[in-house]
A and B are shown apart, each in its own frame.
Chain A
């Protein structure tokens, strides 16, 4: 009799625990359900569609036609525009990343010293980063006007005849890069500033006692300690630069000719302009492969230069 009630008590406890656990699971999944539904419907499903679409000839309206790897073959072997936009994107990326991070570092070092009005300067350097690309693109578009624009106006006061900028196939890209760097510097500046403010004071104290000058302290203490931040910036800046679109759309529409046509702009035109959805999807997956490969490489190479104290 006594044992019976005990077993019954235990079964009741077990089922109760199970019920409680089931309720816990239900509550947990209810809390995350909006995100789960969203990610499945608006990301997973479209990603699958896009993977499939990359193997088809499809205009997005009529039924897709399976073509195997032909889109990829066409892209690599007989699409000069694909090749050029790829090169343009590399040009843009390789030029803008060192400039953005380098000047960002200078600004972070300037703002890290406690001087009066530093908050104002920090805000000024950061303002372009939060400004929309349409406004920025417009202003710089007029700045770069060859005859009566601000840039060539200032250059002529120094006795220099400025180039044709946005209407020159060799100067359009440098002009766009300049604007992109100007706009983007705020981000690395903030990241590096946070890094600088988190550096342990002891290192600097002992270096100062050892008689290390400001330059030596920067070269041998500050920069090595910031290398994890540089790695982070290299990875994120590569991902964003490689997908630049807005400034190009507003300032040049890829021109003159295809001089500033970048990778995403090419995808945009193929998908939404020419209705080549299959072809554009293939390009999107090549982009993914490039970004994944470069990110992986950067992650692997970090052992060679990133310093963890």
Chain B
């Protein structure tokens, strides 16, 4: 009985895993096929004669897009970690007039759908000449990390007060206490926010779509969508590009899965 139920559980789990992974496996395998064999009937999931030259061709096109994606993800991650951890620290640990009201107002902004302020933002950015630059893809995001601030505040609240007091006795400044004593204690939250921000920046479609016109400024995923008929005329090459756009994300996710899941559950249910 036990054995039977365990076996059936495995069967179900394997079937689900196949359903979730098959499209991704197909993407990689299509990227390695000669163009004529991409859409075969009956469908094939594994390539027989891998065409590594597909990737050679694609890598003549995409380094600039890849760099843009990496650069924007880096700016967003570093910026949001600094801004959100400072604000989170102040909201959790410092006493000052207006603190709680400011925090409530900050949280309240998250119920307004993004599209309501994205339209006027676009008009303002066009006015100051930011359209077709990369500033709109990181400056407003770095300066409005509401969710990350919330997460950092939660994390700072859990640190014992004694640590802070020890720093005060040693005569450290508020910034010194935040930077040298408190911040290192919040590594799991920092890691969670780092992974979230990386994924969000990397996978962003709307921002690059409306702001970037010059191809040398475009991010990798959106470049694939925009130039599919122009540069990526073949399905196999498009799938190479798609694979390259997915690999860094999967790598980061595998590496930091634990923090990512912690972050989801922290904001999910304890808020």
Which A residues contact B (CB, under 8 angstroms)? 24-29, 31-32, 34-39, 41-47, 49-50, 53, 60, 107, 110, 113, 115, 120-121, 123-128, 130-140, 142-143, 145, 148-150, 153-154, 156-157, 182, 185, 187, 190-191, 194-195, 228-229, 232, 243, 245-246, 249-250, 264, 267-268, 271-272, 277, 280-281, 284-285, 287-288, 291-292, 295
In the assembled complex, the CB of A7 is this many whole angstroms from the nearest CB of chain B, namely 27
Query: With an 8 A cutoff between CB atoms, is B96 at the interface?
Result: yes
**What's the least CB distance linking A57 to chain B, in Å?**
15
B151 close to chain A: CB less than 8 A: no
Complexed CA–CA distance, A157 and B238 (Å)? 27
| With A145-B39, A182-B20 as contacts: A132 and B96 at CB distance below 8 Å | no
Whole-angstrom CA separation of A183 from B174 in the bound complex: 44
The closest CB in chain A to the CB of B260 belongs to: A130
Task: Name the A residues within 8 Å of B78 (CB-CB).
Answer: none
Knowing A150-B26, A182-B19, A246-B205 are in contact, say whether A31-B86 is a contact too (CB < 8 A): yes
Q: Cβ of A148 and Cβ of B143 under 8 Å apart?
A: no
5 tightest A-B CB contacts, nearest first: A38-B143, A28-B96, A31-B90, A46-B117, A135-B242
Interface contact A143-B23, CB-CB below 8 Å? yes
Contacts of A135 in B (CB 8 A): 27, 221, 224, 242-243, 245-246
A132 in contact with B6 given A60-B123, A110-B13, A272-B122 (CB within 8 Å): no
Residues of B within 8 Å of A34, CB to CB, are: 83, 86-87, 143
- Smallest CB gap from B115: residue in A: A284
Residues from chain A with Cβ under 8 Å of B23 in the complex: 128, 136, 139-140, 143, 182
CA of A120 to CA of B87, assembled, Å: 37
Q: Which of A123, A130, A135 neighbours the largest number of chain B CB atoms within 10 Å of its CB?
A: A135
A-B pairs with beta carbons under 8 A, tally:
264
Which residue of A has the minimal Cβ distance to B268?
Answer: A191
Contact in complex: B109, A43 (CB < 8 Å): yes
What B residues does A107 contact at CB under 8 A?
Answer: 16
Knowing A107-B16, A123-B257, A135-B221, the reply to whether A50 touches B144 (Cβ < 8 A) is: no
Q: Which of B1-38 contact A (CB under 8 A)?
A: 6, 9-10, 12-13, 16-17, 19-21, 23-24, 26-27, 30, 38
By CB atoms of chain B within 10 A, which of A123, A137, A150, A153 has the most?
A150
Contact A287 B83 (CB under 8 A): no
Extra 8 A-B pairs, beta carbons < 8 Å, given A32-B102, A143-B26: A35-B144, A121-B17, A124-B16, A130-B199, A134-B225, A134-B242, A272-B122, A291-B111
The interface residues of chain B lying within 8 Å CB-to-CB of A138 are 27, 224, 228, 238-239, 242
Is B116 touching A281 in the complex (CB atoms < 8 A)? yes
Q: A35, A127, A187: which contacts B24 (Cβ < 8 A)? A: A127
